[in-house]
Amino acid sequence: MVLAGCADGNRRPAKTVAAPCEIVSNGTPLPKPPPAPPPAGPAAPAPPRDLATNPEIGTGYRSDMTAVRTATYAVATANPLATEAACKVLRDGGTAADALVTAQAVLGLVEPQSSGIGGGGFLLYYDAASKAVRAYDGRETAPAAATENYLRWVSETDRTVPKPDARASGRSIGVPGMVRLLDDVHRQFGKKTWRDLFDPAVSMADDGFDISPRLAAAIADAAPQLRIDPEASGYFLDPDGSPKPVGTRMTNPAYAKTLGAIASEGAQAFYTGDIARAVVAATADGAGGRTPGVLTERDLATYAVKQREPLCTTYRGREVCGMPPPSSGGIAVAATLGMLEHFPMSDYKPARVDLNGGHPSVTGVHLVSEAERLAYADRDRYVADTDFVPLPGGSPETLLNGAYLTGRAALISRNHTMGTARPGDFAPPITVPPPPEHGTSQISVIDSFGNAASLTTTIESAFGSFHMVDGFLLNNQLTDFSAEPISTEGRPVPNRVQPGKRPRSTMAPTLVFDKAGPDRGQLYAVLGSPGGAVIVQFVVKTLVGILDWNLDPQQAVSMIDFGAANTPVTNLGGEHPSVDTAANGDRDQLVEGLRALGHQVSLAEQSSGLSALVRTSSGWIGGADPRREGVVLGDAG
């Protein structure tokens, strides 16, 4: 028997006992549904959301969550139903690879706005038997017929932007990589029968599930765009075109049929045959004035996941492993930590530490944000798909070696923000700004065999390209490319569109080990987050919280989201109960202190979806982000 994590977000009821992996409730409410829209009539328009800093609509904050302790296995996802299904796979002897398949299949149903089989992702997998870390690149690719101007204009003779915009047109849809990724890792490390791993999602799609507050808020936010696509409109909206509200019972027989085919025939059922033809047709559909894409059945049939060398560096004596390019997340996280190692971060712990992570210090937030500015500057300039654009010096080492990061850390002043950082001088400057990135989801798993997985999975923006086919949404991942292929200096932009190329990402699935070197010791932590271009900030604050400030993983995840990209703006998540957003934050000591150092502080709500699992002397302890609906579950702790 076990004290289970609860549907309200891991709060452990004092006397409630349940079977392993069973979600129980202790009476604490789930996040409140979004408020009803105001009555019809003239009103000032709401300011547009900044998708670079708040990529998915916020749905509140669950205060006072407590960490979940387990003995031998644990899983965290962004939705209780997906966590429960994956946990039962682990309970019944499955591996982390098996649990990933089930979790992703369920997430594609109950959290379709964030991830699914129409998207891709990056996976770090730890194989306990060989003590090896494997990095799987399941990023989407540009069609073979895509040109450098694919996102820029309709054609060489029609130089108008794709309709209704690049994201909602067929031009944004890349070749999905998720099904192939799951198939590859399962073939290598799965123990359970592939077919059986889809049963929970197929049953749920047939029998129905209730729309959660987060999904309802996302549907309401995207309703105008969803109306353009007949299948998306028919699924997410009521017959009168209004968004389906919280609690609506939804079934998805088309998704059940699709999953059934994949379960029976493997990944080939997705990349060839009827499903592939439907994906190509949906991408080419110009109904409603949408500009078609040029994806072909051959693009799908020839897609391959790439196993890459994981990017492992040292921080405070531990080894931290992340994803290499085309994700920039691993490099940016490693560079930030490498600079922070020059500062006594343990001296700048949060004050008044409570279940919500306490109140970070001005100096702590300042130093992290400055290091991130420098890391983002290099990321923005130099990182792209290395199969097309090499890194300076031909490897990540140039951007991450000790001497270079020592010099970068020396640029950080304790007394004033640098505002905007200059990148290191390795090549002529590229001055095209990076495209904004958007929302994703995170799955963190430890199995009873000692294997672990950190999968960051995405369809890019909320609801992807708004194209729905066979019960699932297609990604808009190609908008992570730069639409402008040439810089203002007349040089090719590294992250421009090219046939077969993978767009740059900021996803940062992370594994931490006890010590650096050939014998890295035991696995210590598994973590990651969605959040688009802000992912690096979410992951870094959690790592610093755990490794420098001795927070448990729930406190570190729950702590105020803070950090900066390479702009004068420093993010401070206004959704957190410890942040006083009244009067534009003028009465908040942290905001006041940062502004005194020259920071332009944004109090916009952050929509991180962090999860973290950390080893203890008796098992594992985990935390799930209070800003989403996720939970941690496992066996008796």
Catalytic sites, residue numbers: 440
- Rounded Cα distance between 9 and 554, Å, is 10
Q: What is the CA radius of gyration of the chain?
A: 23
- Rounded Cα distance between 292 and 172, Å, is 10
HSE-CB for 243 with a 13 A CA cutoff? 22
What are the DSSP calls for 88-141, one per residue?
HHHHTT--HHHHHHHHHHHHHHHSTTT--TTSEEEEEEEETTTTEEEEEEE--B
Q: Report the SS3 class of residue 87.
A: helix
- Rounded Cα distance between 609 and 329, Å, is 15
Instruction: Tell which residue, 138, 163, 146, has the closest CA to residue 299.
Output: 146
- DSSP bridge partners of 468: 473
- Torsions phi, psi for 478 (to 5 deg): -70, -15
- DSSP bridge partners of 261: none
Q: Report the SS3 class of residue 486.
A: strand
- Rounded Cα distance between 142 and 177, Å, is 11
What are the DSSP calls for 413-445, one per residue?
-SSS--SSPPPPSSSS---PPPPP----EEEEE
Stated as kind and residue range, the H or E segment containing 301 is helix 297-301
Phi-psi region of 247 (alpha: psi -120 to 50; beta: other; left: phi over 0): left
Order of all β-strands in the sheet with 306-308: 306-308, 132-138, 120-127, 452-458, 441-446, 74-77, 631-634
Cα-to-chain-centroid distance, residue 297: 28
Burial (CB count within 10 angstroms: exposed 0-12, middle 13-18, buried 19+), residue 344: exposed
Instruction: Tell which residue, 601, 537, 595, 553, has the closest CA to residue 368.
Output: 537
**Owner of token pair 């998306």:** 232
What does the H/E/C string look like for 335-353? HHHHHHCCCCHHHHCCECC
- Rounded Cα distance between 100 and 634, Å, is 15
- Rounded Cα distance between 454 and 432, Å, is 31
- DSSP bridge partners of 396: none
- Rounded Cα distance between 34 and 54, Å, is 16
- Rounded Cα distance between 401 and 24, Å, is 48
Amino acid letter, 455: L
- Rounded Cα distance between 634 and 68, Å, is 8
- Rounded Cα distance between 80 and 4, Å, is 12
Instruction: Report the DSSP pairing between strands 452-458 and 74-77.
Output: unpaired
- Rounded Cα distance between 288 and 282, Å, is 12
